[in-house]
Amino acid sequence: MGEAMRHHWLLLGACGWVLLILMFVSKFISFRAVDDYGERVGGQSWTVPGTKVVRPIPVSSPVKPAPQPSDQVTNAADYTPVYLCNNTSFIHISVMSVCQPSAVPTGADWQPVVERRVELLSAVCKNSSLGNLTHAAISKFVLDRIFVCDKHKILFCQTPKVGNTQWKKVLIVLNGAFPSVEEIPENLVHDHEKNGLPRLSSLTPQEITHRLSTYFKFFIVRDPFERLISAFKDKFVKNPRFEPWYKHDIAPAIIRKYRKIHRDSDLAASGLHFEDFVRYLGDAEGRQRMDRQFGEHIIHWVTYAELCAPCEIHYSVVGHHETLEQDAPHILKAAGIDGMVSYPAIPPGITRYNRTKVEQYFSGISKRDVRRLYARYQGDFQLFGYPSPDFLLN
């Protein structure tokens, strides 16, 4: 009897340990953020807790009822913007209107959305008052961002932190390296020496001109401030192990210049704060000098205008991260490849604009620094119809 009881308690103890281990493992897995629609990002957070530090926040916000259309939306950031403007009065940039929200069209009804985006882009480009906020030369830097699929006559401009990994997978499949996006190893996608995706910069001037004038061209954008938050989290909070320079080189340089109190002995350990990042991005002259030092690692927060030269290159489609569920199938069909490849599944809610997250990240930032930041990215807001973040600026 005693031996049976002993075995009984040993069994209960073993079950208890198994449950504890499972709980620990599930908790650990939940902390591994899913970035870029399914690509798990490794690494360790090294941002020090404090009043200026922002903890990782869920990507999606609670679903809110769709707002009713009105003559003008005053709080456009509360919903996923679709930007279906019925007129072009907003091209007067100094008093740019906010477009009406609308029921999200699908299929053939999405073409008017795409056309209005291109019309808006053209109108803003013609407004000379924005200057270099919207215009960029078609330099080698821009040509390096554009991937080529000659087989199907497609050009894709890379805009980091807007789901580009998935579009690279689509192009890799189209180039014939893999039969489906699901079979592509994650570590191959960003290995530009082995993924079989040539850049436009690798071609001759004549070949570049021909492709720019005849190929289907597209790129994707998202709310500029949400993109910056995504870049900060990915490069300075998660700190992937295969990109140590963000922790050891870029972050310390920013901290030295933009944090009033720091110790040189533990710059890497102290971690970059979002406030430091915002100050760096909003400092026009100082940032340019530092960016030359950082090299092309800065592409994750370079403006869309600088990355893709949308005022100089006539793009066929400009997709929006917030409406990717509609844009992805439209782009595949418009490019004539919808029967050859599928865009990877999009996790529910991941594309939705999250105003709560934006407010929390900017809660400790001074109005002066926010306005300087907006001054740099104002061109991106206006080129692509994103309402100015008045809830942060005022």
Q: What ranges do the domains of the chain cover?
A: 91-226+298-393
State the chain's mean pLDDT as an integer: 77
* CA-only gyration radius of the chain, Å: 23
Closest CA to 318 of 114, 167, 16: 114
**Has residue 242 got a pLDDT over 60?**
yes
Q: Count CB atoms within 10 A of the CB of residue 122.
A: 14
Q: Which residues contact 325 (CB under 8 A, 6 or more apart)?
A: 346, 351
pLDDT category of residue 76 using cuts at 50, 70 and 90? very low
> Burial level of 224, CB count in 10 A (0-12/13-18/19+)?
buried
Distance CA(255)–CA(274), nearest Å, equals 11
pLDDT category of residue 340 using cuts at 50, 70 and 90? very high
Residue 65 falls in which region: left (phi positive, over 0), alpha (psi -120 to 50) or beta: beta
Cα–Cα distance list, 254 to 122, 143, 229, 348 (Å)? 36, 28, 16, 35
Tokens of 393: 């600026």
**Has residue 55 got a pLDDT over 60?**
no
pLDDT category of residue 245 using cuts at 50, 70 and 90? confident
Cβ atoms of 80 and 353 closer than 8 Å: yes
Q: Which residues contact 232 (CB under 8 A, 6 or more apart)?
A: 272, 274, 277, 361
Tokens of 284: 């026009």
Distance CA(123)–CA(310), nearest Å, equals 12
Distance CA(171)–CA(168), nearest Å, equals 5
- Dihedral sign, Cα of residue 39, residue 44, residue 46, residue 51: positive
Mean pLDDT across 298-323: 96
**Has residue 193 got a pLDDT over 90?**
no
Closest CA to 125 of 116, 112, 134: 134
Tokens of 67: 């707002």
Mean pLDDT across 216-228: 98
Distance CA(69)–CA(183), nearest Å, equals 43
What is the pLDDT, as a whole number, of residue 56? 35
Q: Which residues contact 392 (CB under 8 A, 6 or more apart)?
A: 225, 358, 359, 362, 370, 374
**Has residue 18 got a pLDDT over 60?**
no
User: Rounded to the nearest 10 degrees, what angle do helices 367-383 and 111-126 cross at?
Assistant: 120
Cβ atoms of 140 and 130 closer than 8 Å: no
Q: Is the pTM of this model over 0.95?
A: no
Distance CA(52)–CA(18), nearest Å, equals 39
Closest CA to 364 of 9, 26, 54: 54
